[in-house]
Amino acid sequence: MRIIGQIALQRFAQIGRATIMWYTALNSMPRKSDLPLFITQMYSIGLKSLVLIVLSAFSIGAVLALQFYTQLVRFGAETTVGVGVAMVLLRELGPVVTALLFAGRAGSAITAEIGLMNATDQLSSMEMMGVDPLKRIVAPRLWAGFFCLPMLAIIFSAVGIWSSALVGVDWLGIESVGFWAGMLDNVEIWEDIGKGSVKAVVFGLIVSWIAVFQGYDSEPTSEGISSATTRTVIYSSIAVLTLDFFLTLVMYGDF
């Protein structure tokens, strides 16, 4: 019972530290002088994730087109492949898969970087120079994740739709006008693109928060950094998939 109590207290203390860190970091950006730090992180965690996002989106869009086509062609409804793929990508797969890939590519890198800075006393030395690492190190990464993930999710959906058109229209011979017109008629700005982007914004905040906190709170050993990096990917994945259910329930639920 005592051990359970200790573990519970440790978890509550961890959540408390994470919340304080989040609040302090989010309160401290963006200022004009911090812009270079923010841009550096946008490049590091956003632009450098782009290749992975584009390749994954291309593959997923192509596979979705194939799957939709094989089912819909039996009913002569193959022109609705476009709208089906667009709905799935914009509402679900775009934000969710982007967030999962982002956690694996950028989240783990953020955790490892901050964890190593912690283990080599770089964060402590920054504190001793009167520079707050929450503002200098944590905040730019949090804000960059917040801005990058929605943009990456939109790019993911766009590339996925394009690759589905390549497969559906150019290869399988679906009528081009029907493919695109169905999509344009049925996809709504707020319902599909807007709500999908809201999901991406929430996932961006959560994944970045988990990544920076795990790095900041990691044990200053090689094993500690390794565990923290693993935790970032696991916690982020669980958080994204769980939150996706509740966000879908809240935003689309009319049951």
Partner 1 sequence: MVEIDNLVYNRGDSVIFNGLSMVVPENRITAIMGPSGTGKTTLLRLIGGQLRADSGQIRVMGENVSKLSRAGWFELRKQMGLLFQSSALFTDLNVFENVAFALRVHTDLPEALIRNLVLMKLNAVGLRGARDLMPRQLSGGMARRVALARALAMDPVLIMYDEPFTGQDPIAMGVVVSLIQALNEALTITSLLVSHDISETLSISDNVYIISDGRVVASGSPEDLAANRSAKVGQFLQGLPDGPVPFHYPADDFINDILGATV
Q: CA 156 to CA 153: how far, in whole Å?
A: 5
CB–CB of 251/195 below 8 Å? Answer: yes
Task: Locate 131 and state its tokens.
Answer: 């520079």
**Identified binder of partner 1 from the candidate list 15, 131, 241, 249, rule CB under 8 A:** 131
CB of 128 to partner 1, least distance (A): 4
128 interacts with partner 1 by CB under 8 A: yes
Taken as a whole, the chain contains a residue count of 255
121 interacts with partner 1 by CB under 8 A: yes
CB–CB of 197/149 below 8 Å? Answer: no
Q: Which is nearer to partner 1, 100 or 117 (CB)?
A: 117
Q: CA 160 to CA 55: how far, in whole Å?
A: 9
**Identified binder of partner 1 from the candidate list 63, 66, 67, 127, rule CB under 8 A:** 127
Q: Which is nearer to partner 1, 129 or 189 (CB)?
A: 129
Q: Which is nearer to partner 1, 122 or 248 (CB)?
A: 122
| Interactions with partner 1, residue window 144-163 (CB under 8 A) | none
Q: Which x/- pattern over 69-98 shows residues binding partner 1 (rule: CB under 8 A)?
A: ------------------------------
CB of 196 to partner 1, least distance (A): 35
129 interacts with partner 1 by CB under 8 A: yes
Stretch that binds partner 1, among 4-12, 49-57, 125-133, 199-207 (CB under 8 A): 125-133
For the chain, list the strands marked E by DSSP. Answer: none
| Interactions with partner 1, residue window 196-235 (CB under 8 A) | none
CB of 115 to partner 1, least distance (A): 13
Look at residues 7, 20, 42 and name the one whose alpha carbon lies nearest to residue 144: 42
Q: Where are the alpha helices (DSSP H) in 89-121?
A: 94-102, 108-119
Q: Which is nearer to partner 1, 59 or 124 (CB)?
A: 124
Q: Which is nearer to partner 1, 37 or 174 (CB)?
A: 37
Q: Which is nearer to partner 1, 101 or 110 (CB)?
A: 110
CB–CB of 160/89 below 8 Å? Answer: yes
Look at residues 241, 254, 143 and name the one whose alpha carbon lies nearest to residue 199: 241
What does the CA dihedral 143, 193, 238, 253 come to, rounded to 10 degrees? 130
CB of 223 to partner 1, least distance (A): 18
What does the CA dihedral 154, 156, 162, 168 come to, rounded to 10 degrees? -120
CB–CB of 183/89 below 8 Å? Answer: no
Q: Which is nearer to partner 1, 1 or 129 (CB)?
A: 129
Query: Where do contacts with partner 1 occur on this chain (CB under 8 A)?
Result: 120-122, 124-125, 127-132, 136
